[in-house]
Homo-oligomer: A and B are copies of this chain.
Amino acid sequence: MVRTKDPAVRAKLIQRAAQMLRERQPVTLRSLVAGTGASTMAVYTYFGGMDGLWKAMRQEGFGRLAARLAEVPRTEDPVRDLAALGAAYLANALAEPDLYRVMFDAGFELEDPAAADATLHALVEAVERAKGVGRFRTDVDAAGLAVQSWTIGHGLASLVVNGPLPRQALGNAVPMLAALFTSCGDEAAACRRSVESGWTPH
């Protein structure tokens, strides 16, 4: 082995693809490498083809999502935190709708499957805390509830990002999450308060 790949080139291509996606320019093999000085072969050297590029884009998307979720503060009210995580999830999806669409496009596959799990883990951890402080029943399946919360977030994000529902439909997250958390043992009024508090920034 004598010549090594330059990770910076790889990162540059990913960043450029993300920017083109954001600017709604079609991301094609030739248009992607144009202006970077690299040739079309670079995409094959670093990603093995366009499919590999999309896979890397999904990874990038989950990375950004994880970063956003990590920024959500953990307060002494875990139910509030769960709602805040949901709000951050939806904010992320709407901030870069095309990247979000790529993340869940056909052929869902990740270079590192742990990235998607990490997203769920943030939810699981909050659920566990809610159980710990007595808001949720102890027999609540944390992983299951995390998946259910994800389903609500993704369902709304997908329907809004893809067009069927208007932006303000995102507000449906509040009653839906409140209903779900109440069903886990939280007291209805307090639950509603926590969810609304977590949903509205600050």
Contact = CB atoms under 8 A, between A and B. Distances in A.
Given A164-B104, A179-B180, A179-B183, A154 B144 contact: no
A156 interface: yes
A152 B158 CA distance: 11
Interface stretch (A30-38, A64-72, A121-129, A170-178): A170-178
B159 A151 contact: yes
Interface string A129-161: 000000000000000100110111111101100
How many protomers of this protein does the assembly include?
Answer: 2
Interface residues of A, number: 35
A163 interface: yes
B165 A147 contact: yes
Interface of A: 98, 101, 104-109, 116, 144, 147-148, 150-156, 158-159, 162-165, 169, 172, 175-176, 178-180, 182-183, 188
9 contacts: A104-B158, A104-B159, A147-B169, A147-B172, A151-B172, A153-B155, A154-B158, A175-B183, A179-B179
